[in-house]
Amino acid sequence: MKPINKIHLILLTIFVSAIGASAQDARLRFDNLASLEKNASEVVEVNVDGKLLQLAKRVLLKVKDQDAQKIGKAIEGLEGVYVRSFNFDSENDYNIADVDSVRSQLSSPGWEKLARVRSKKDNQKIDVYMMFRGQDISGLAVILSEKKQIALINVIGPIDIDTLVELSGKMNIPEISISKDDDQNDN
Amino acid sequence: MKNDYLWDKTGSDPEITKLENALSVFRQKDLSPPEIGIPSTIADGRAKRPFHKLFSFGVVSFAGLTAVVFGLSIFVMIRSGNVEMVNTDLPPGVETTESISAAEVSPMPEVGSGSTMAEAPSADANKVVFASRKPAAHRKSRSRTLKNQVRHLAAENNVRLKPGVKSKVVLTEEEKYAVEQLMLGLSITSSNLKMVKDKANGIRENEISK
C-alpha cells in the first residue's frame, strides 16, 4: 500500500473515531441505579433509539395531526431518548449519592450548563445541561431530584426544546407532571 | 266468332250476344271499390277508448311506486338524523391520528335505492329516489361502516365530535409501542423543561417586582 493511502486511512480512522466519540459523549451512563430501582415504588424506564426511534418518527410524520407533525419536526434529527424516573413512598428513601454519580458525568468536557434550580424548601435540585456540536445541539441532559422523586433524562441529537416545551401536555398521553405540590398534599 | 266484336263491340256476333245475355246477371253495376266491413266490436273499441287511457294501469302503478319510494327515503332521512355519536378515542399513546373530514357515505344506506323495485321502470325509480340527495352520495359504496356514517352526518349537521375523537391511523404493534415509548419520554422531558422554564420566569418576575 502506498504511503499516501496509509496516511489517508489513518486520518479517516481518527476522523470517524472522533465523530463516534463525540456522539457517545452525549450519552449518560445509567448503570448504577439498581439501588434506586430497588427502593422506588414506581419506576419508569424509557429507551428509544435506533430502529424504534425511526419507526416512531415515521408514524408521527405520517399522521395528519398538527401537534404530532410539530413534534415530528422537532425531533427530526434525534438519535435517542433515555429516561429513568423513580417515585418513592417516603422522603429520603434513596441515596443521593446515586444521583450525584450521574450528575458528575455532566462535568466532563462538552457539557454546558443551561439551567440550575435549587430549592431548599422541597430539597429540589434540577440541572439542565446541553452539549453542542458546532452550532447544533448534540445532547441534552436533565437531572431532577426531589424528596420523593428522581428523574434522569438524556436526549441525544438535535432537538427543538422550545417546541417541546410548547407542546408539553399535548402529546396525547397523560402529562407526567413533577410538581412540589404533591408533597404539600401528602403532608 | 268475330274478333272485332269481342274487342270493341263493333259488328255483331250472335253467339257472343247469346252468352252475354245469359251472364247478364253477373254484370258489374258499380265501378267504385267495394266496402270492407269491419267487425262491430273492433270498431266500437277504437271509437270509445281515448289514447291516454291506454296506459292507465302503467301510469298509476308507476306513480304509486314513486310515491312509496319517496316516502321511504324521507323516513330514512328523518331516522338517520337521530344516530348517536360514537366516541372513537384511542388508548393513550396511540392517538396519532388525522382530523375528521367530511366522510363519503351514502346517507340512505339500504333503503330506497331502487334495488328492491327494479321491476318497475327501475331507472326512473332511482332517479326519483335520489332527487333529494347529493349525486355524489349515490355513487358511494354501500359497504361504509357505521362509524363513517356518523362522521359524515356530524359534518353535514355541523356537529362537533368530542375532542380527541379522531380518525384512526392503523398502526402495527411495533409502531404503537414505538410511538408510546417516544411520547412518554418526550412528555417527561418536556414537563421537566417546562418546570425549569416556569421557575426561571417566576424568579425573573420576582426580581422585576422588587
pLDDT digits (tens, 9 = 90+) for A114-135: 888 888 877 889 999 999 988 8
CB contact under 8 A, B195 and A179: yes
The partner residue sitting opposite A173, judged by closest CB among B169, B187, B192, is: B187
Asked if B188 and A153 come within 8 Å (Cβ–Cβ), the reply is yes
| pLDDT at A54 (0 to 100) | 93
Alpha carbon dihedral A145, A151, A157, A158, in 10-degree steps, equals -70
Question: Closest Cα to residue B80, out of B162, B163, B165, B152?
Answer: B152
Q: Determine which of A76, A113, A165, A181 to mutate to test the interface with B (most B C-beta atoms within 10 Å).
A: A165
Instruction: Name every chain A residue with its beta carbon within 8 A of the beta carbon of B181.
Output: 46-48, 52, 56
Q: How far apart are CA A86 and CA A150, in angstroms?
A: 5
d(CA A108, CA A30): 15
Alpha helices in chain A (DSSP H): 3-25, 34-39, 50-62, 66-74, 96-103, 161-166, 181-186
How many CB atoms within 10 Å of residue B57?
Answer: 9
Task: Going from the first residue of chain B to its last (210 residues), give the mean pLDDT of each consecutive group of 10, the final group possibly shorter.
Answer: 72 86 81 68 55 71 90 84 47 40 38 40 41 49 60 59 57 88 91 85 71
Which of A46, A172, A178 comes nearest B191 by C-beta? A178
Q: What is the dihedral of CA A29, A30, A32, A38, to 10 degrees?
A: 180
- Give the strand pairing for A42-49 and A80-87: antiparallel
Residue B199's pLDDT is 82
| pLDDT band at residue A81 using 50, 70 and 90 as cut-offs | very high
A136: pLDDT confidence band, cut at 50, 70 and 90? confident
Q: Is A99 an 8 Å CB contact of chain B?
A: no
The answer to whether B153 and B81 are in contact (CB under 8 A) is yes
What pLDDT is recorded for position A161? 82
**Res B106: pLDDT:** 38
pLDDT for residue A185 is more than 60: no
Number of Cβ within 10 Å of residue A154's Cβ equals 25
- Looking at the complex, report in whole angstroms how far the Cα of residue B113 sits from the nearest Cα belonging to chain A: 35
Asked if B144 and B105 touch (Cβ cutoff 8 Å), the reply is yes
Binary contact (B189, A83; C-beta < 8 A): yes
pLDDT, residue A180, reads 37
Mutation target to probe the A interface, by most A beta carbons within 10 A, among B174, B188, B197, B198 is: B188
> What separation, in Å, do the N-terminal and C-terminal C-alpha atoms of chain B show?
161
CA distance B105 to chain A (A): 21
And the C-alpha cell for B45? Answer: 273499441
d(CA A29, CA A87): 20
Q: Rounded distance, CA B77 to CA B62, Å?
A: 23
Q: Which tens digit of pLDDT belongs to each residue from B7-63?
A: 787 888 888 888 888 888 888 776 677 677 666 655 555 555 555 555 678 888 888
Place A163 in a pLDDT band, splitting at 50, 70 and 90: confident
- Residues A106, A112: Cα–Cα separation, whole Å: 8
Q: Cell match 437531572: residue?
A: A143
The answer to whether residue A89 scores a pLDDT higher than 70 is yes
Is the pLDDT reported for residue A12 higher than 90? no
- Are residues A171 and B190, on separate chains, in Cβ contact within 8 Å? yes
Positive/negative CA dihedral, A172, A174, A180, A185: positive
Smallest Cα–Cα separation from A78: which of A167, A8, A160? A160
* Closest residue of chain B to A115, computed from CA coordinates: B196
- Residues B190, A65: C-beta atoms closer than 8 Å: no
The SS3 assignment for B151 reads helix
Give pLDDT, residue A1: 55
CB contact under 8 A, B181 and A52: yes
Q: Nearest by CB to B96, which of A63, A83, A178?
A: A63
Rounded mean pLDDT, A92-96: 85
Cell triple for B158: 355541523
Instruction: Please give the radius of gyration of chain A, using alpha carbons only, rounded to the nearest integer.
Output: 19
- A17-50 residue pLDDT tens: 555 554 457 899 988 888 888 989 999 999 999 9
Does this model's pTM top 0.80? Answer: no
Q: To the nearest whole angstrom, how far is the Cα of B135 from the nearest Cα of chain A?
A: 28
CA dihedral B175, B177, B182, B185 (to 10 degrees): 180
